[in-house]
Each structure stands twice: as C-alpha cells, then as structure tokens.
Chain A
Amino acid sequence: MIGVGSFLAQSHGRVTRRAFVKAAFGGSLFAGAVGRLPAAESSLEGKAKSVIFLWLWGGPSHIDTFDPKPNAPIEIRGPFASIATRTPGLIFSELFPRLAQRSQRFSIVRSNQNLSNIHRIAGSIALTGGEGNNGDDGYGPAFGSVVRKIHEGPRDLPPFVAVTQGKMQTSLGVLKGYGGGTWGKAYDPFAVHCTDRGEVDIPELKLLDGLAPDRLSDREYLRKELERFNRIDRRLDTTGWDNNFESAYRLLVSPDGRRAFDLSLEPENVRGAYGQTVFGQSCLLARRLVQANVPYVQVNWSKWVENIYGSRTDWGWDTHRLNFENLTDRHGPILDRALSALLDDLGERGLLESTLVVCLGEFGRTPKVSASGGRDHWPRCYSSLWAGAGIQPGRFVGESDDRGYDPLTDPVPPGAVGATILSQVGVSTEQRATLGVLPTSHVIEGLL
C-alpha cells in the first residue's frame, strides 16, 4: 500500500488542501524539469543505470561485520566468531551467514577512511565525498544529487529518492550533506517513508481536501484547484510554478509512477524474503524503484544516529554502549537478511548487471572494546560492500592491519567512493571537473 501523504492509494483517505499545494509548489520535491544538464551532456553510458545506496547511519564496526580480527586479543576481536565466505581469504563476523554464502555476488573494501570522527561531519563527507567550506556547512552535492542533475530518469518518477524515516539527525543536530548542498535544495532527494509492513508514505506530497483517487486523472480539475488556491494565497512562492506543478502532477496522475511505490503489489514470498522490518521493506522498495528506472535510491537505516535514544529510538549504528547486544539481537540479522535478499532479487531479475549497490556508514568503530562494553567512532579504517554494474564480484580490496586500526594498503577516501559511483553511472572525470564535483578524486581501481 502506498500513502501519498495521508492518502492511501488503495483507500479513499482525505487530507488537507494546503498540503497538496505545498507539494505542487515545493521546489525540492522532484527532479522533473529542475536544472538538468542539456540533453547532449546528459547522455550517459555508464554500466549502472541505477544506484542503490544503503546508508548505515551511525557507523557499523568493521570488526563486527566484514573485517573481523580473529587473531587479535579478546578486547579487540570481541565476542563474535568469524566465518568463512565463498571468497577465498575473506571472512565475516558470524552475524552475517547469508551474506557470507553470497560473497561471490559482491566485493568488500576493507580500507575506507574518513576525515572526521564526528557523525554530522563524517556523514556529510561520506555522502558528498568532500569537506564543507565553512565548518559543518557548505558541502557540495551528495552523490545522488549529482546523479539527479545529469540523469534523465523516468518521466513519472523523481530521479533521487531517499527511503528514510525522516531527515537524518543526531542529538546535536541535523546532517547537512544529504542533498543538493551548494547546488541548492532543488537537488535534494525526494523523501519517502516505509514501514515494517511495507506501507509507503510520501510526507511532502499531500492531496487536496476531498480529492478521491478517481479525480487524480482529471488534469483540468487539478489545475483549476491549484489556480484557485493560488489566487487565495499569494504568500506562496510561485517561482517555477509550471515546472513544479508538472512534476507533482506527473507522479500524482501516473498509475505507473504510483505503482512503483506500492509494495502490496509484490508477492508475499518476495516481501518475506526481505524481512518484515523497516530496513527490509525499504530495500524492497528500492528494488521496485530501480525496476522503474529511478537512477538513484538511498535507503537510510535509521533517522537517528543513536542506537538507543528514548522515544526517538530507531536503532542507529552508533553503538557506544550495547554494541554486541544489539548487533546480536537486531542489527546483524536484519542487515544480513535484507541485503542478501536484495542481491538475490536483483540478480534473479537480471537487474544486478545494471544496478550498483553500495553499503556503508560514515566510519567504523574503535577496534578496542570500550569500558562501556561498546565501540566508539573510528574514521581511520572501515569497510564497505559493493555489488553490480561493473563491480568485479568475489573480491576484497584493501587490507587493514591485524587489529583493524589502519589500512595497510592505500586508504580509500570518501571522494573515491563518490568517484566510483559516478563513474559507474557514466559521469566521466571530465564531467566531474566541469561540474566541480570531486575533480581530483579517483575511482577505486581494484573494484572494477
């Protein structure tokens, strides 16, 4: 079931008039006709038609996931056993048996490095590839925003979708480098919520009071309603009214566009394969959007970075305390199942060849278990998972030292993550230079 705001596509809910107008006039909602490169410049020939970027907000421990250290002292290796994968020489934490069985579908980078150990800054750097120009501000565009600028995408769907529980935050403030950054909000992602039951809600896109689904196809009715409201409320910024209306209208009136968000159309066994969790169903939604040719989908593990946070608890990966308890109970099994299902599903549908899947957080966690029974922030070395669209599977790239403190090989900075994603989408080094996006960054050679 898909909710367009409070409206459910398979029911007849009613919501407020102002909310719909917000959707129609809100410049940040759609790529539609917003600031794309001219057609000649936007023709791309990358191996990846789409990207699914799985964002493990909070920073998973590399040692407890994809780079365990079984021979390190107990205070470093932690309590989890390591298990063999199908890739010779690659071992995982025992929390990931399904992924271990599928390791020949993907590759692991074990030498990621970030420039900051502060979530908001490291997160912005990890999502944009570079530092801000004004402290924790002035970040360039996120990778998805760059793709949005250059990629046509489908006519009826936004080209950069974030499946999220809300704007990503920490207890100290919001994450700033999630979207258009210095390019402006027009390049922000189109945010949708997804519940553990697969109910999809598009919070910014609300419908008029009394608007029933059968009126969605009545273009003239919608236009008149909006024009009427515009006469009433001149306080609204109507700049770009036509473009934004057309963009909003396209999604609202397009059955195909709405169907892409409707997980109830999936067979029960497919929904079950991903697991009845927020992250699992969000990954399934990402697959549906990719199937509908959306070029960039980011799935956020949580809204809040914190692992436990009172009523705001949504189990982020920031496990200063209870790292081992919650990875055992929750994070490990959920990620293992959902990501495995996503890789299987994309592979079985023949979509993995044209879909780049990247999974990582903003940093790793301290090799040494803290006195609080958790692990703290560790930007000097961490891991990421890559699959599809030209990524050579069954490899591991880079190596960390025997205690997971530092890379033994060349570190992979966030700029290289961005350069690799954009390269696979078909953005050349020259185009990056023209756009001013990561002009000096290089792709991660060993992956390709």
Chain B
Amino acid sequence: MRFWCVAALLVLAASVSAAEPRKLTSGGRLKRDPLFVDGGRVLIYTVQETSPRSVLMRLTLEERGPSRIHAESSLPEMKPSSSSDGKRFAYLKITGNDMSQVAVDDVLTQQTIALKFTRPAPWDPVITPDGQSVVNSLDGQLVKKPIDGGEQIALTKSSGLNNWPAISSDGKQIAFGSSRRGDYDIYTMTVDGTDLTQITDERRLDARPAWSPDGQQIAFTSARDGNYEIYVMHSDGSRVRRVTNHPERDDFVTWHPDGKRVAYVSEREGKFDVYLVDVPQ
C-alpha cells in the first residue's frame, strides 16, 4: 500500500512538473526541418505551400516575425544544416525535373558552393560539424562529399533504402534510417561507413534520427504507436522514451543546444508549427 501511494505521488509530481510544449512559430503553414543555430537564439526551418513551394525561414526567438533566408531565390529550398561554428550552412535546392542540388553558403566568403553528385537528385543533406563535408542520400544510398573538392564517397551499399543521415556533434558517428531489413529502422555507423549497428527494430516506421548535443542520445520519429510521434533513446538504442503523445502528427525533431529539450513540427488541428518541449529523463 505504501509503495503504491509513493508511486502515485511520484507520477503526480512528474505530471505537474512536466512543462507543456512551447509553440515557437505561428501561421500553421506546412513546416519541416527545424534547426537551432546561434546558441539556440535563432530557429531555422522550412515552410512549404508558398510560392515557390518551399522556403527557408529564419526566426530570432525573442523577436517578432520570421524572415526568408534567401529572399531572392525562386527555387524550392529545404533541409538546412549548419557547421558547429556556424560558418557554413548546407541546404537542398530543387532545381529541375527530378533534379536537386546540395548548396553550401559560406559565411566568410559570402559564396554559395553547389556540390555535384553522380546522380541528379541528392536529398536530405547534412553538413559535418567541421564544415568540410556533406552527407546525404542519393537514390537510396548514403554518400559523403567534400565541400572544397574531392570525390563522392559511398557510405552504404545495401538493399532497401537509406535516408535521413544525422551526424553526431563530434563528427564521428552517423545515425540514419534504413530499410535494408524490410521496414525503416534506425542504424548508426562511423562517419566512414563502418561499424554498422541497428539500434531500433520495430515493424512500423522509425525515421529522422537527431543526435543530442553531447552525442549520448538520439531523438527520432516513429509510427510504432499508430501515428508519427517523437521518441528519444540512448545512442545504443536502449531506454526508449516517448516525448509526444497526440493523435495528430509530430515529426522532424531537432535538439535544442541545451541538450534538455527538443523542437519538432507538430500538426495541431490541421496547422503545422514548431514546438519546444522538455525531454523526459
């Protein structure tokens, strides 16, 4: 009896202390790819359904109103990522019929570098923390490409598809989704493509992993409970915890630089906005 009373009090305390998600954006337009930069003071994300159909937005959180990052661009853009020093910024441009391009903005030179690949539609690029390379999917396989010249390196050669690469903050590990064993699960490997480890094994979709700043945890999207929700686990796949629990979609998770919170795109009553929430310990 005493045990159950204590347990009930603990549950009550946890529910009282658990902070409600904080809404960071407004407008409800279709959003994706949130990313914190500048120590968490700035949120970058993609908004779709505008014309052109997908644009990168920059929102300084303590100020009002987001602005377009590339105001003059007429091509759809998405999937931003930043080097750890913030001096290089990679993203995807949709350039033609089944054609896309990985672009890298260099803050120092004010130049945009367009990377060339052996196939026409690279997707989901992520820049390495040192700003020297980009990892992305290319026709279902992961590749790595040096930004300042050099050959494209194949990181996977598997059956199925490999998507959504994420690189740990020390630059040594890649987490990604792969369907090599049937459905999408989360895997990790070294940044040169070795030491492959499967860290989730669910029949439903596991996707879009994101490393915590200290490299100890991975947040991801999973449909294991019926719809898209956000989960967090240790980087070896243990201690899976559910972060969101809502009948509508929660997706596109990213870590706040404090390592205690994650932001994600949540569909609430049909509107898409970015929310910030504490990660359960």
Give the B-binding residues of A (Cβ under 8 A): 74-75, 77-81, 94, 97, 171, 195-197, 268-269, 271-278, 280, 306-311, 313-315, 320-322, 324-325, 328-330, 333, 337, 369, 371-373
Contacts and interface: CB of A to CB of B under 8 A. Distances in A.
B163 interface: yes
B48 to A, nearest CB: 8
Contact of B96 (A269, A310, A330): A310
A215 B227 CA distance: 51
B273 to A, nearest CB: 10
Given A79-B179, A80-B205, A313 B54 contact: yes
Contacts of A306: 97-98
A165 to B, nearest CB: 10
B203 A196 contact: no
Contact of A310 (B49, B75, B204): B75
A372 B139 contact: yes
A321 B52 contact: no
B32 A315 contact: no
B121 interface: yes
A337 B223 CA distance: 15
B118 to A, nearest CB: 12
B39 to A, nearest CB: 28
B201 to A, nearest CB: 12
Given A79-B161, A269-B269, A308 B100 contact: yes
Interface residues of B, number: 52
B131 interface: no
A372 B119 contact: yes
B74 A278 contact: no
B53 interface: yes
Given A79-B183, A313-B94, A308 B99 contact: yes
A275 B270 contact: yes
Given A74-B160, A81-B183, A321-B139, A311 B227 contact: no
26 contacts: A75-B159, A78-B179, A79-B161, A79-B205, A81-B205, A94-B223, A195-B49, A196-B29, A272-B269, A273-B269, A274-B270, A275-B267, A277-B30, A278-B49, A308-B94, A308-B97, A309-B96, A309-B97, A310-B95, A311-B76, A313-B53, A314-B53, A322-B121, A322-B123, A333-B249, A372-B119
Given A268-B269, A325-B137, 19 more contacts: A74-B180, A74-B182, A79-B161, A80-B205, A81-B203, A196-B29, A269-B269, A276-B28, A277-B49, A278-B49, A307-B98, A308-B100, A310-B76, A310-B99, A311-B75, A313-B52, A325-B123, A372-B119, A373-B137
B143 interface: no
A280 B269 CA distance: 12
